[in-house]
């Protein structure tokens, strides 16, 4: 168990993330709002996207750039309007040029991912820096990711750690989580597992699901805290339920081994399937083993082959060996 968990915790550094709606100046998302912008937010929160888009357009046309950013989000996601990433880019640029830092951040995400515009890490880093320097903590976080990965800037773990700290101190929980990983690995800062645990806990408590996953790994391994499989299970479940499929994979392994929970192969298979369906190749590989052995599922070597092939093609090297073994078993039958 320990080897698997350590491998996963050391691999965690978030990629540049999501597009952000500007909600600044909004106290209560009520339908008694006093202006079109607030009313647009209220409609958005209520998932009445067509009405929200209409009001954000009115606000944007009236030269209130927060409305331009938010209309860009609508085009980016295809909510209330037909999805159009090029249009989203135009609106984010208009918002950014008008001084809206959410627009600068969102435009940076588009350049990072190559959505609606040619991928350009250098341009993305410039936009994240502009947003960060103006107090946009998500911009600081994403710029930290760029320095961690060496995308658009020279790789610099020390600079990345500074940016994650700034983001964390400013309330961006993903920054806390990534700073925790820097302390866990001793990159850009002196290695300090106790500090890593504190930061992962802060991130997890603040809603950052990867922080929960990593904190679970610390409890599973006994790094910076006393080993506690029961606590690890709680945290992996929280991560899995929150959409972090690696949490589903490891939780499945814990059910298979009876670590922190009563052994339950049916539950292990269910979790491995959830992870596999979510694109986690280790989950596919583990599910393949269960089909090969008939553990938690009815034995099915053809199904095992399919799963091992999927995992192998996805870069899970142990699954490639498993594929060869199952082929030999099939020939012997």
- Please, which contacts does 108-114 make with residues 24 or more away whose CB atoms are closer than 8 Å? 108/16, 108/139, 108/142, 109/16, 109/17, 109/18, 109/19, 109/142, 110/76, 110/85, 112/16, 112/142, 112/151, 113/16
pLDDT in tens, the chain (333 residues): 333 333 334 334 444 556 667 776 544 334 444 588 989 999 999 999 999 999 999 999 988 899 999 999 999 999 999 999 999 999 999 999 999 999 999 999 999 999 999 999 999 999 999 999 999 999 999 999 999 999 999 999 999 999 999 999 999 999 999 999 999 999 999 999 999 999 999 999 999 999 999 999 999 999 999 999 999 999 999 999 999 999 999 999 999 999 999 999 999 999 999 999 999 999 999 999 999 999 999 999 999 999 999 999 999 988 888 766 766 656 655
Nearest-5° angle of CA 278, CA 282, CA 285? 105
DSSP single-letter state for residue 14: P
Note the pLDDT of residue 29. 38
**Cα within 13 Å of Cα(153), Cβ side:** 21
Distance CA 48, CA 40 (A): 9
Q: What is the pLDDT of residues 101-143, one digit of tens each?
A: 999 999 999 999 999 999 999 999 999 999 999 999 999 999 9
Question: To 10 degrees, the CA torsion angle through 202, 203, 206, 212?
Answer: -110
């Amino acid at each position: 168990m320990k080897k698997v968990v350590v491998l996963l915790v050391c691999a965690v550094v978030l990629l540049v993330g999501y597009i952000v709606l500007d909600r600044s100046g909004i106290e209560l998302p009520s339908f008694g709002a006093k202006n079109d912008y607030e009313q647009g937010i209220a409609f958005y929160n209520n998932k009445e996207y067509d009405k929200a888009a209409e009001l954000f357009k009115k606000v944007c046309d009236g030269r209130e750039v927060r409305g331009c950013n938010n209309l860009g989000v609508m085009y980016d996601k295809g909510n209330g309007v037909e999805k159009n990433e090029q249009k989203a880019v135009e609106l984010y640029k208009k918002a950014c040029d008008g001084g809206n830092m959410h627009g600068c951040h969102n435009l940076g995400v588009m350049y990072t991912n190559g959505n609606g515009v040619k991928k350009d890490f250098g341009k993305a880093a410039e936009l994240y820096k502009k947003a960060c320097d103006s107090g946009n903590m998500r911009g600081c976080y994403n710029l930290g990711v760029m320095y961690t990965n060496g995308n658009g800037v020279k790789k610099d773990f020390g600079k990345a750690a500074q940016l994650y700290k700034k983001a964390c101190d400013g309330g961006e929980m993903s920054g806390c989580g990534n700073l925790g990983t820097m302390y866990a690995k001793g990159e850009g800062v002196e290695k300090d597992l106790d500090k890593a645990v504190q930061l992962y806990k802060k991130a997890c408590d603040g809603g950052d699901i990867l922080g929960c996953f990593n904190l679970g790994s610390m409890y599973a391994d006994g790094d910076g805290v006393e080993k506690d499989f029961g606590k690890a299970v709680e945290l992996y479940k929280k991560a899995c339920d929150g959409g972090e499929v690696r949490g589903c994979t490891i939780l499945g392994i814990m059910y298979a081994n009876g670590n922190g929970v009563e052994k339950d192969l049916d539950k292990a298979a269910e979790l491995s399937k959830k992870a596999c369906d979510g694109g986690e190749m280790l989950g596919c590989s583990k599910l393949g083993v269960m089909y090969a052995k008939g553990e938690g599922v009815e034995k099915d070597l053809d199904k095992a082959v399919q799963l091992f092939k999927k995992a192998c093609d996805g870069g899970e090297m142990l699954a490639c060996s498993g594929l060869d073994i199952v082929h030999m078993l099939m020939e012997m039958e």
